[in-house]
Every structure is written in structure tokens, then in C-alpha cells.
Amino acid sequence: MLVMFIMLIGILIGLWFFPEKYNSINMKLQTLTTAALIFSMGVSLGSRPNFLEQLGTIGLRSLTLAVSGILFSTLIVWFLTRKWEQHKGSISHQEQHSSYSMVILAVCCLIGGVVCGRWLLPAGISSLIIDASDWVLYLLMILVGISVGLNKEAFLQIRRNPARILIIPLGITVGSIIGGAVGGLILRMPLHDSVPITAAMGWYSLSGVLMTNLSGAEAGAVSFLCNLIREILSFLIIPFIARYIGHYASIAPAGATSEDTTLPMFLRCTSEEIVIMAVLNGAICSALVPFLTPFLFRIFR
């Protein structure tokens, strides 16, 4: 809720106070803060004592579940929203180049953060970077909010089509559950573990704790890594889905993270209308996760 409130402040600034001529500076600051946020994510990963060991032992299961959840979420959201799409194929060469540049930047920042967190930075410096990431996120949300506030037409589009607010998170939730079931069958993994893991929809910090309490440390580690991989993959594939499949479908990979960490990718690759949809989707998905994870664990047990 705090992230949404901070972004609302940014929207109000964009609506009433921020000069539109400075939006290019705002976009550059968004790129900088996004890079810092991804770098801090890498530092957090690299500084975990057992990160490399976990990556070797549970990485395949986590990757399989993450990909399966993304795949089915995207397919279902695309099917539900395909008649709404007006943007597919309309991205200019300059916008496409900007999207791909963001992907390259995200990969470099993530790898650089892991390397620094694992081998280069003292533990105290790594902790400072990780602790500062919340403030970087808050700054990013204000900047994104300003960009959204500058586009008044986006709000009118949402008011004309309120049903879209619920259909997208519904599709992501159902797709994530199906993806967990399919991934669990492929891995020969108990469904009471695989389905709740993917139903966390990218919220790795909460899902790791919930699954540890429900099913033990190994399930918790798989859940943490699976949903972290989903968030990382979202940074990389949102531009491609937006370009070749559709703008609404590009929200699906991000799941619960579409309201905060992955939000800048939508602003780069889609439109302000989709940004608003992404924020609302992330809020709804995030609200569902604490209830959905234990519920599905008990249902499939």
C-alpha cells in the first residue's frame, strides 16, 4: 500500500505541478533508478551465503516452475484481452531500440550486482545498498507516477473500460495456478508444493517464508528462487511480449511485481494506460497471495 500511495503522490505532481517539457529528464532519472534497483537486487542475491549452492541444487525446479507460470499466465491473459489490443506492431524503431537497451541494462546491472555482492563488496557496504533499495524504489515510484500523471487520456481509457481491471489479474492468477500444476507434473513434484509456489506470482520474499512454514525449508527455498526468477525474467521478456504479442499480455509475466519493481518496463515498452493497469493488477495480485498460497497448499495436500 505504501508503494501505491507514493506513486499516487507522483501522479498528482504530474497532473498539476510538473512541467511536461521536463519529462525527458524524468525518463532518464527513471532509467538510472531502475538500474540501481536491479543492481541492489543482484547484490542481495550475491551476498546470500548459500545462494550458489541453492542455485545448483534447486535451480532447475525453480526455473521450470517460473517459466511454466509465466507461460500459462501470458497465454490466458492474451486470450482474454486479444480483442482489446490496438498497439501490437505499432512500436517505432526508436522505442524498440529503447526497450532492448533496457533489457541489456537490466542484465548487466543484475550480473554486476551479483558479482559485487558475492566477491567485491564488504558485507557492510552490501547491507547499505540492500537497505537503500527501498528508498530507491520509492523515488522510482514518484518518477513513474509523474509520467503517468502527465498523460490525462490514460485515466479516461480506464474509466471507459473498468472490467479490464479485474480480468487481467484473474487471468494471471489462473495461469499461475495451471503453470504450477503443469510444472509440478513435469518435475514429479507434489502439487501441494508446486501450485502454491507459482501462485505467489513473483512475490518471492513472502512466498519463501510462507512455503517454509507450510512445507519445510526446501520448498521455501524453491519458492523464493522460483518467484525471484519470475521477476528477473519479467524484466527481460516484457519488451518482447509487448512488441510481438500485446501490451495487455505483457503484464502477465510480472504478476504481483507489476505495481513496483517491473513497472518501469511498462512505461518504456507500452503506454501510460498500461502502466495504470499494471499498478492495479499488482495491487490485486499482491492482496491475493497471502490467502491463495496456504489455501492452495491445503486444497492439493
pLDDT at 92 over 60: no
Mean pLDDT (whole number) for 23-41:
88
Q: Which residue has the higher pLDDT, 28 or 181?
A: 181
93-102: pLDDT as tens digits:
555 556 567 7
Q: Identify residue 57 by its one-letter amino acid code.
A: T
pLDDT at residue 297 greater than cutoff 80 = yes
Q: Give the C-alpha separation, 246 to 148, whole Å.
A: 20
Report how far residue 170's alpha carbon sits from residue 76's, in angstroms, rounded to the nearest whole number. 9
Q: What are the tens digits of pLDDT across the range 209-236?
A: 889 899 987 898 899 889 989 999 998 8
102 touches 31 (CB < 8 A)? yes
For residues 82-95, average pLDDT: 60
Per-residue confidence at 273, pLDDT binned at 50, 70, 90?
confident
CA-CA distance, 222 to 193, in Å (whole number)?
9
Of 48-52, 55-59, 98-102, 129-133, give the lowest mean pLDDT range: 98-102
Predicted pLDDT at 181: 97
Cα gap 260→39, rounded to integer Å: 15
Produce one character per residue of 242-278: b if its CB has 16 or more CB atoms within 10 Å, e if not: bbebbbbbbbbbbbbbbbbbbbbbbbbbbbbbbbbbb
pLDDT higher than threshold 60 for residue 293: yes
The three grid cell numbers given for residue 124, joined into one nine-digit string: 557492510
- CA-closest candidate to residue 65, choices 170, 219, 236, 168: 219
Give the C-alpha distances (Å, rounded to integers) separating 218 from 209, 223, 224.
11, 9, 10
pLDDT in tens, 136-148: 888 988 988 898 8
Residue-wise pLDDT tens digits, 109-118: 889 998 999 9
- pLDDT at residue 67 in the model: 97
Write the pLDDT tens digit of every residue in 182-195: 999 999 999 999 99
Contact 238, 265 (CB under 8 A): yes
Mean pLDDT estimate for the chain: 87
For position 89, what pLDDT does the model report?
45
Residues 6+ apart with CB under 8 A from 87: 242, 246, 247, 270, 271
More confident: 165 or 89: 165
Over residues 244-256, mean pLDDT: 94
- Tell me how crowded residue 162 is: count the other CB atoms within 10 A of its CB: 8
Residue type, 114: V
pLDDT of residue 1: 58
- Cα separation, 234 vs 89, whole angstroms: 20
Average pLDDT of span 124-140: 91
Terminus-to-terminus CA distance in the chain, angstroms?
32
pLDDT > 70 in the chain, percent = 91
Model pLDDT, residue 168: 95
pLDDT of residue 98: 60
Rounded to two decimals, what is the model's pTM?
A: 0.83
Name the DSSP class of 98: H
Residue 219 to residue 215: CA distance in whole angstroms: 6
3-state secondary structure 203-215: CHHHHHHHHHHHH
In this prediction, residues 273-291 reach a mean pLDDT of 88
Q: Which helix (H) or strand (E) holds 85?
A: none
